[in-house]
Chain A
Amino acid sequence: MSLQSAKRRRTLSTRNRPLWMLGPGLVLMALVIIIPLGLALYMSLLDLDQYTLRSWLQAPFIGLQNYVEAVTASPLLRSIWISVSYAVVVSLVTLPVGVAAALATQNRFKGRALVRSVFLIPYILPAFVVGTVWRTMMQQGGVIDSALGSAGVHTGLWLNGPQSYWTLIIVQAWSSWPFFYLLVLAGLQSVDSEVHEAAALDGAGWWIKLRYVIFPYLRGPIALALIISLLHNINSFTLPFVMFGVPAPQDVQVLSVLTYVTSFQSFRFGLSAAMAVASLIIVAIPLFVYLRAVRLDTGEEGKRA
């Protein structure tokens, strides 16, 4: 560490820095991310609807009233609960699946490359395609119903009513488990072959070996994957939007969809901005953990070690 950082310090030039090369990126991010972020905060304090939007700078300033309304008189809290619980459930469901898939494809076998490619398909399919396809499959009397029906299982509506919440979880789990698979697979590569040999010499059974030898190696990657997966799922918009449309059934009205509907269907822009700010606060917690966990400069060395 000390040797490396000393070397880095010496070779990183402090003269003739072409800082202007950061310019284009900085300008874009300032114009399209930072300024709109400030704008969002400001608009959340305005009484902004379709009549005042055109001259939004003159819209009445109403302080925190949007926030008060969002909390007391809108489905915000319910949507927050749906988003957060959905993100947690999906992450917890997909974690073991991804781990199992990684363990199963760790060793060579005939056709492994093909299996690995196939495993990635759900993850790489665009969410709007996944949503369209699963909506078709899960419609009333569709292929899922008829398959379950021939097995003697009769379920209610998938796309409406309380069950829709689980529909969303099932579909999101289907499309996102390969993420854990990928990260765990990468984590498994950091296990030295000596470790395997030592375990074999000790005559450890496969479960004992997994539990006490392999899993400790995976703790880091899994923790990181969990945080990223939570962030990803809390923000998820496309899948619920495409699967259930707007206005969404209330059981799948996740925070992002509620914010969207409040803006572009009810035209309560100020209220919607307040909701969006709330979503930022919710994301901030896992994001903070994530940024603390990632080592910015030593990521490369840490990985090789």
Chain B
Amino acid sequence: MTQSVLAPPAIAAATPRVGSPARVSVRRNDDVTRLLPRPLLVVIIVVLLAVVLIPVLYIFFASVNSDTGVASGQFFPTEFHLDNYLLIWNTVDLGTGLVNSVIVCGAVAVVCAFVAVGSAYVLVRFVFRGRATYLRALLGLQSIPGTLMLLPVFVLFASVGTALGVPIIGTRGALFVTYLTFALPFSTWVMVTYLRGLPRELEEAARIDGASSWRILTRIVVPLSWPGIVVSAIFAFLLGWNDVLFASVLTNSDTRTAAVALQVFGATQEGGAIPLYGQMMAASLVCALPVVVLYLVFQRYLVGGLTAGGVK
């Protein structure tokens, strides 16, 4: 379900690494390892910074500008007011959306990380028939088009709901189960690559002392793998946070996530008078903020998670 995973199926995770050997080798002798002549290097960096930052700054500028100012193509706001940040809670119904997103995605993150640890532990430390298939499936399942799954998941939930006499479509539970499942392959893979890097001596010692697998998992493996657990939890969280496809069909106006609230708000502004651009940008900023903060706080681990697997 790559289209809503923020990360394409990057294949591995932050591997537990003591110290950082790469950094040491880069440090010495800058001139020798330099790859580009200085002027070219400066040009590339300046151009890319501009390309990235201009739209990002625009989000903020437009959010404090007047709607007519945005509509007439101003970059720098001619007025400055923060009203939009107050208004969005009523017009976009952003509060409900954010609460729903936090509840669903938070639950998905926690449950997913722990289910993933258990699976990954078995996959890394034990041999069993179908192990390679399982690992390959973890990678393959991430690329299944979400649009392929949407209709059958919808029909399945609707049918089960009718059979049981309880509504499933439109509940947070439906969204939770869906996100949890689609987050699992990547989170499990993240944990698999993480656990591979853990020394197994402690576990072996514990096993000799007669500890059960469950005890080893909860007392040794989990405490040692917090960085990996955090990474897989964050990726699971973001999968839900960024999804529009499933949420647009599986929720109603009460259980709508922030992503759908913003999308619906944007769509209803088309046509008619001047759209409420300022509020749209303010809401965009608010929806993006948790993601950006998560990244900045956990950047070191997450970047490892995004890249490590790409290097064969």
Docked Cα-Cα span, A291 to B134, in Å, equals 12
The 5 closest A-B pairs by CB, nearest first: A146-B73, A36-B152, A18-B213, A39-B152, A232-B8
Could you list 19 further interchain pairs (A-B, Cβ under 8 angstroms) beyond the known A133-B58, A232-B8? A12-B125, A19-B126, A25-B118, A25-B184, A31-B181, A108-B27, A118-B49, A118-B52, A121-B56, A143-B70, A179-B306, A193-B32, A232-B2, A234-B145, A242-B266, A280-B144, A299-B312, A300-B196, A302-B312
By a CB distance below 8 angstroms, the chain B residues around A185 are: 307
In the assembled complex, B109 has its CB within 8 A of some CB on chain A:
no
Task: Judge whether A237 and B122 touch: CB under 8 Å.
Answer: no
The residue on A at minimum CB distance from B148 is A276
By a CB distance below 8 angstroms, the chain A residues around B224 are: none
Task: Judge whether A11 and B146 touch: CB under 8 Å.
Answer: no
The residue on B at minimum CB distance from A42 is B152
Which segment, of B10-18, B82-90, B165-173, B225-233, faces chain A?
A: B10-18
Binary contact track B24-61/A, C-beta < 8 Å → 1, others 0: 01111111111111001100110011011101101100
Contact A206:B37 (CB < 8 A) given known A124-B291, A291-B139: yes
Q: How far is the CB of B275 from chain A (nearest CB, A)?
A: 8
Task: Judge whether A232 and B284 touch: CB under 8 Å.
Answer: no
By a CB distance below 8 angstroms, the chain B residues around A295 are: 312
Q: How far is the CB of B5 from chain A (nearest CB, A)?
A: 8
Contact A126:B288 (CB < 8 A) given known A147-B73, A245-B267: yes
By a CB distance below 8 angstroms, the chain B residues around A245 are: 267, 270
Task: Judge whether A206 and B36 touch: CB under 8 Å.
Answer: yes
Chain A, interface residues (CB within 8 Å), range:
35 or more
Task: Judge whether B143 and A283 touch: CB under 8 Å.
Answer: yes
In the assembled complex, B99 has its CB within 8 A of some CB on chain A:
no
Interface centre among B48, B62, B241, by most chain A C-beta atoms within 10 angstroms, is B48
Task: Judge whether B32 and A40 touch: CB under 8 Å.
Answer: no
| Residues 248-271 of B at the A interface (beta carbon under 8 Å) | 249, 259, 262-263, 266-267, 270
28 residue pairs from A and B, CB less than 8 Å apart = A14-B126, A14-B128, A19-B126, A24-B115, A25-B116, A33-B182, A36-B152, A103-B35, A108-B27, A117-B299, A127-B244, A129-B287, A136-B280, A137-B55, A143-B62, A143-B70, A143-B75, A186-B311, A224-B312, A228-B10, A236-B3, A237-B244, A237-B245, A238-B3, A264-B249, A273-B152, A294-B309, A296-B135
The residue on A at minimum CB distance from B42 is A104
| Residues 224-271 of A at the B interface (beta carbon under 8 Å) | 224-225, 228-229, 231-232, 234-238, 241-242, 245, 255-256, 259-260, 263-264, 269
By a CB distance below 8 angstroms, the chain A residues around B28 are: 193
Docked Cα-Cα span, A235 to B1, in Å, equals 8
Task: Choose among A101, A210, A228, A241 the residue that contacts B310 (Cβ–Cβ < 8 A).
Answer: A228
By a CB distance below 8 angstroms, the chain A residues around B44 are: 100-101, 103-104
Task: Judge whether B49 and A115 touch: CB under 8 Å.
Answer: yes
Binary contact track A266-305/B, C-beta < 8 Å → 1, others 0: 0001001100110110010001001101111101101100
Q: Chain B: how many interface residues by the 8 Å CB criterion? A: 128
Task: Judge whether A273 and B213 touch: CB under 8 Å.
Answer: no
Task: Choose among A123, A125, A174, A193 the residue that contacts B288 (Cβ–Cβ < 8 A).
Answer: A125
B residues within 8 Å of A by Cβ? 1-4, 6, 8-12, 15, 22, 25-37, 40-41, 44-45, 48-49, 51-53, 55-56, 58-59, 62, 70-75, 115-116, 118-119, 121-123, 125-128, 132, 134-137, 139-141, 143-153, 155-156, 159, 177-178, 180-182, 184-185, 188, 193, 196-197, 200, 204, 207, 212-214, 217, 238, 241-245, 249, 259, 262-263, 266-267, 270, 277, 280-281, 284, 287-288, 291-292, 295-296, 299, 303, 306-312
Interface centre among A37, A200, A237, A256, by most chain B C-beta atoms within 10 angstroms, is A237
In the assembled complex, A214 has its CB within 8 A of some CB on chain B:
yes
Task: Judge whether A276 and B126 touch: CB under 8 Å.
Answer: no
Binary contact track A87-112/B, C-beta < 8 Å → 1, others 0: 00000000001001101111110000
Binary contact track A177-217/B, C-beta < 8 Å → 1, others 0: 00100110111111001001100100000100110001000
Docked Cα-Cα span, A103 to B2, in Å, equals 28
Task: Judge whether A235 and B146 touch: CB under 8 Å.
Answer: yes
Q: How far is the CB of A6 from chain B (nearest CB, A)?
A: 14
Interface centre among A16, A21, A225, A273, by most chain B C-beta atoms within 10 angstroms, is A21
By a CB distance below 8 angstroms, the chain A residues around B137 are: 29
Task: Judge whether B177 and A132 touch: CB under 8 Å.
Answer: no
By a CB distance below 8 angstroms, the chain B residues around A139 are: 71
Docked Cα-Cα span, A44 to B58, in Å, equals 45
Task: Choose among A25, A36, A133, A145 the residue that contacts B149 (Cβ–Cβ < 8 A).
Answer: A36
Task: Judge whether B115 and A19 touch: CB under 8 Å.
Answer: no
Q: How far is the CB of A25 from chain B (nearest CB, A)?
A: 4
Task: Judge whether B155 and A136 touch: CB under 8 Å.
Answer: no
Task: Judge whether B287 and A126 touch: CB under 8 Å.
Answer: yes
Contact A179:B29 (CB < 8 A) given known A22-B119, A300-B193: no
Task: Judge whether A25 and B140 touch: CB under 8 Å.
Answer: no
By a CB distance below 8 angstroms, the chain A residues around B149 are: 32-33, 36-37, 40
Task: Choose among A134, A196, A256, A294 the residue that contacts B33 (Cβ–Cβ < 8 A).
Answer: A196
By a CB distance below 8 angstroms, the chain B residues around A297 are: 132, 135
In the assembled complex, A13 has its CB within 8 A of some CB on chain B:
yes
In the assembled complex, A53 has its CB within 8 A of some CB on chain B:
yes
Task: Judge whether A25 and B55 touch: CB under 8 Å.
Answer: no
In the assembled complex, A128 has its CB within 8 A of some CB on chain B:
yes
Task: Judge whether A25 and B188 touch: CB under 8 Å.
Answer: yes
Docked Cα-Cα span, A122 to B245, in Å, equals 20
